[in-house]
Amino acid sequence: MADMIEILKSPENLRNICISLSASLCLYAIIIHFSKGRISRIEFWKLKAVQFASLAVAFLTTVLFMTKKLPLVLLFSVPIMLFFAIKSLQASVRRLHDLGFSGWFLLLDFVPIANLVFMLWRVFGNSSSEGLNEYDVPIKYNSFIKWNSLYPRINCLELNETGFKVNGIEFEWKKNKGQELCECSILYLEQDKVVQRFCDDCLQRTENTPSYAEKYRVSYKREGDVIGSIISKLNAFVVRNGSLLLDGKEIFVRSDGFSYRLVYDRNAHVPGLEIQERDCLAREYYNIPVSRSQLKKLLETSAGRPLVISPAR
């Protein structure tokens, strides 16, 4: 304690401590703000184990080679350590979301004694909800199908209140001179040749809306079942409010560390998934982990199926 007081008496040391604390708080605030979603306790442990092993390798590499090639070693190890430190904070924020608390509670790490209790709670605490909570964020379906080489074999159709999106390209329903139209940005449309080819072949183009860049919009007549045509001709799976629609049932898909989670009503039946009794973790919902390959199979199964909207319960 006496040594600590002596250190704080030095203006230079006090200034350095304030700068370090401010930098840490800023880093925490940025990570908390941009970290979305939640992660289960088991996946949190897995991530921590991988992060610890990676940091241990980087540290040993630094120790072994620092006497010979220090600049090169630091160039290798420092970015790795910083990367995993940020990932560790992101995992902690998502773990808090799983417990039902805001990520800003992570600032308790700066409070002595409370930070130890808080760390144990993050590691061993139970999820606040095995169904959905306010911090749930669906996966990015468009990125998933492209990263997993499913595009252009299957495509993503997202329904919303004002229109729909195909592979992230937004179409809006409009009315003009008694005609019903769907409009989209021609700039974005030209970036996806599959969707552009579908529009050219299957939709009747009308007069463009004059403007520039992404605001230069192209209009198509709303004739027949546009949504059904997209589903069948583009072999698309349907997403509404972040949930995958399959036979009229909503299946919420979220990322969970090294795997994915499907959350849906117990009354629903998902083709290709065998439900074990241990997977039923709540009264009203199934909350089951699936691998990347299982999720790919589910998306392929749902793609191209006729759209069925079940009535609200």
pLDDT digits (tens, 9 = 90+) for 276-289: 544 555 557 778 88
Among 136, 144, 97, 109, CA closest to 292? 144
Tell me the pLDDT tens digit for each residue of 238-258. Answer: 999 999 998 888 899 999 888
Q: Cβ(157)–Cβ(134) under 8 Å? A: no
**Tokens encoding 186:** 């021609």
Tell me the pLDDT tens digit for each residue of 22-48. Answer: 777 787 788 887 888 888 888 888 888
Among 87, 104, 88, CA closest to 96? 104
pLDDT of 268 strictly over 70: no
What gap in Å lies between CA 212 and CA 206, rounded to an integer? 18
